[in-house]
Amino acid sequence: MLHSSPSSSFHHTTTLHPSPSPSLLSASSPSSSRHAWLPLRHFSFQTRPLRLNNLHIHNHFALTSPKALKVNCSTSEPLKIMISGAPASGKGTQCELIVQKFGLVHISTGDLLRAEVVAGTEIGNKAKEFMNSGRLVPDEIVTAMVAARLSREDAKQRGWLLDGYPRTFSQAESLEKMQIRPDLYIVLDVPDEILIDRCVGRRLDPVTGKIYHLKFFPPESEEIKARLVMRPDDTEEKVKSRLEIYKQNAEAASSSYSNITKKIDGSRSKEEVFKEVESSLSQLQQSKGKILKSGEMEIQRTLEKSILDTKKGSGSSRQDKWRGIPTRLNNIPHSREIRQYFYDDVIKATQRAVNDGKTRLKVDINIPELNPEMDVYRIGTLMELVRGLALSFADDGKRVKVCVQGSMGEGALAGMPLQLAGSRKILEFMDWGDYGAKGTFINIGSIGAAEVEEQDDLYILVAPQNAVGNCIIDDLRAMTNAAEHRPVILINARLKDLPGSSGIMQTMGRDQRLKYAASFESCYFFRLLYYAGTQYPIMGAIRMSYPYRYELYKRVDDPSGKEKYVILSTFLERPTTDEINDAFEGKPRNETRKGSGIWGFLSGIF
C-alpha cells in the first residue's frame, strides 16, 4: 500500500561549462600515466606554468558562482566513477585497468599535482611541501584543478574516473555545489599492514609510467629494474602519516555518496579485485542504457497521451514542455540544489497564477523538511521559501506583506502552533537583500484584518493553521475580505478542523469553514508517495505547477541505488487514490478497479 506524505525530488547529470582559465586548462592528466612527477615523463602532460593568482580567480568563480556552471539533465551520459581508498590501496593500479576496458578519462589529483611539481609551477612549488610530508594539499588548489579538468570535452564525452578526490568533506561539498556526482563510488578496502608493505615496495617506471612492486609485481627485465624510482612520500614514516590523514577524513568525504557506494575488498590480487570492479561497471553501464530506454518510452507514452487529451479538449494546451523532478529525494536533509529547485518551482508557478489575475492562492509543498510531522522538519527551509517568494514579487515593484499568525487562545492554551514558534523573529532578522527591501517592499505582519493597509499589494501567509481550541479561519476571512482584490497566498496552510480543548470537534459553522478553505486555488502542489504507514523509501511523487496538469511520477532505481523519477501519467485534477494505484499498476485509465493491489493507498490521504 502506498500513501502520500509531504516531500521530495531530482537528479542530475552534469555538463559543466565553466570557463576555466587557460592556465588551468593546461593542467591535463593522462588517462593512465599516474606518476608524472618523475623526471623523464613521456606521457601526454602538457604542463605550462600556472600562476596562483589565476587559480584563485578561477577557484572563486567555480565555487561561488554555481550559476555559471550549466547543468543539463540527461540520462544518456557516459559513466562517472569515483575511486577512493587509503594510500596504496590500489587505486592507481585499478584505474589503469578500468581505463583500458572502459575508456574513461582518468583524473588523478595525485598525478595532476605531481605534474605541477615536475613542471616547477607556482602550484607545484606550493604543493610539493605538502605532498613530500604526506599532508593534504590545500583544498582550493586541488578543487580548482579538478573542476577545470572535469570541464574538458574528453571527460564530458567519454565519462570520467576520479581518483583521489574528494578527500575531505569540504572537497565533497565543492563537488555538490558544482552538481558533480558520480554514478558509483568505489572504495578499496585494505588492512593497514598490507598498505604499508605496498607503499614501501612500490616502484615506478619513469619511462612508461607503469606501477611496479618489488615483491608483488617485479619489473619484467633488468633494464627496467635499473631505472625504477621510488616516490618521495613512500617511506614507512610518511605512509603512516598519510594513512592517519586518510582515516581522519575518509568518513566525512564519502558520506555524501553512501547510497551509491560499492566497497570492494582490495587485499586480494589485482586481477581478482578488477573482476569485481569490472562487473560493477558493466552492470551499471547496461542498466544505464536500459533505464534510459524504459524511462524514455514511458515519458513518450505519457506525452502522446497528453497530446491526445489536449486534442480531445481535455488537456492544457499550454503544457508543451516536460521537466523532471529532483532525484536523491531520499537523502535528507536535501542539498542546497534540491531546495533551490523547489523554491524556483514554487516561485514560477505562483508568479504565473498572480499574473493571470488569481487572488486566492495556496501552495502545498510537502517535502520532508517542510513537513512538521517528520523529525527532519526545518523551519529554515520554510523561511527561505517564503523569502524567495516575497522577494520575487518585490523585485517586480510590488509591496509584499509576509504574515505569521500571532498567539492564539487564552490561559493555558495561549500560544502558537509549535511549527511556527520563533518564525516571526526569524523573518525579522533574516537577510532581505542589500537594497533595503525590508521596510519598504517587504513588511512583516500577522494574520488579521488590522494588518491590511492601503499600500500593500500582496500578502503571503506563512503556514496558517488551526490550533487546539482555536480556529484561524475567522481571522483569515477577515483579512481576505479587507484585502479585496489583492492576492493572498497561503503557504502550507492547515485549515482542517481540530477538536476543541475538551476533545470535542466543533461542528457549528463547519461547512462554511470548509467552503472557505476550499476557495483558495492550488497554484503549486508537491507531495511524495510512500507505502502506507511508512515514510521511507519514497515510491513516487505528484507535482502540479500552475497552469499545468498534475504529474504523477514513479521512482525507478538503477542497481547502484541511484534514484530516477519517470512520469507515469498526468491529470487535469488532483488524481484520486484509485487513479494513482491504477497508474502504478500500469492499468489503462477508467478500467474498473478490482481490489486495491500492492500500490493501494490509504484512502483519505488527500
CB of 174 to ligand AP5, least distance (A): 10
Please name the residue that has the C-alpha cell 492576492. Answer: 487
CB of 377 to ligand AP5, least distance (A): 35
169-177 and 236-254 helices, crossing angle to 10°: 40
Is 87 near ligand AP5 (CB under 6 A)? yes
The residue within the footprint of ligand AP5, chosen from 53, 76, 221, 269 (CB under 6 A), is: 269
Let me know: does 401 contact 456? Beta carbons within 8 Å.
Answer: yes
Is 202 near ligand AP5 (CB under 6 A)? yes
Q: Is 263 helix (H, G, I), strand (E, B) or coil?
A: strand
Of 306, 302, 319, nearest in space to 565 by CA: 302
Q: Is 159 helix (H, G, I), strand (E, B) or coil?
A: coil
CB of 52 to ligand AP5, least distance (A): 16
| Contacts of ligand AP5 in 88-107 (CB under 6 A) | 88-93
Is 30 near ligand AP5 (CB under 6 A)? no
Let me know: does 51 contact 24? Beta carbons within 8 Å.
Answer: no
Is 109 near ligand AP5 (CB under 6 A)? yes
CB of 42 to ligand AP5, least distance (A): 19
By annotation, the residues acting in catalysis are 91, 167, 202, 231, 242
Q: Given the rule CB under 6 A, which of 43-51, 130-138, 366-374, 444-452 is the region that contacts ligand AP5?
A: 130-138
Distance of CA 502 to the CA centre of its chain: 45
Is 469 near ligand AP5 (CB under 6 A)? no
Residue 261, CB half-sphere, CA atoms under 13 Å: how many?
Answer: 16
CB of 262 to ligand AP5, least distance (A): 16
C-alpha cell recorded at residue 248: 581522519
The contacts of residue 21 (CB under 8 Å, 6+ apart) are 54, 55, 57, 58, 148
Over the range 159-187, which residues count as b (16 or more CB within 10 Å of their CB) and which as e? bbbbbbbbbbbebbbbbbbbbbbbbbbbb
Q: Pattern 225-254, binding to ligand AP5, x per CB under 6 A? A: --------x--------x------------
Q: Given the rule CB under 6 A, which of 65-73, 129-137, 411-419, 559-567 is the region that contacts ligand AP5?
A: 129-137
Is 113 near ligand AP5 (CB under 6 A)? yes
The residue within the footprint of ligand AP5, chosen from 115, 211, 363, 528 (CB under 6 A), is: 211
The residue within the footprint of ligand AP5, chosen from 118, 131, 452, 462 (CB under 6 A), is: 131
Q: CB count, 10 Å around CB of 63?
A: 18
Q: Given the rule CB under 6 A, which of 163-171, 306-314, 355-363, 528-536 is the region that contacts ligand AP5?
A: 163-171
Distance (Å, whole) CA 451 – CA 273: 69
Nearer to ligand AP5, 234 or 364 (CB): 234
The residue within the footprint of ligand AP5, chosen from 11, 106, 198, 513 (CB under 6 A), is: 198
Size of the site for ligand AP5 (CB under 6 A): 35
Query: Any bridge partners for residue 185, and if so which?
Result: 82, 261
- Give the CA dihedral 525, 322, 535, 2, nearest 10 degrees: 90
Is 137 near ligand AP5 (CB under 6 A)? yes
Is 149 near ligand AP5 (CB under 6 A)? no
DSSP state of 305: H
Please name the residue that has the C-alpha cell 517592499. Answer: 441
Site of interaction with ligand AP5 (CB under 6 A): 85, 87-93, 108-110, 113, 130-131, 134-137, 142, 164-165, 167, 171, 198, 202, 211-213, 216-217, 233, 242, 269-270, 273
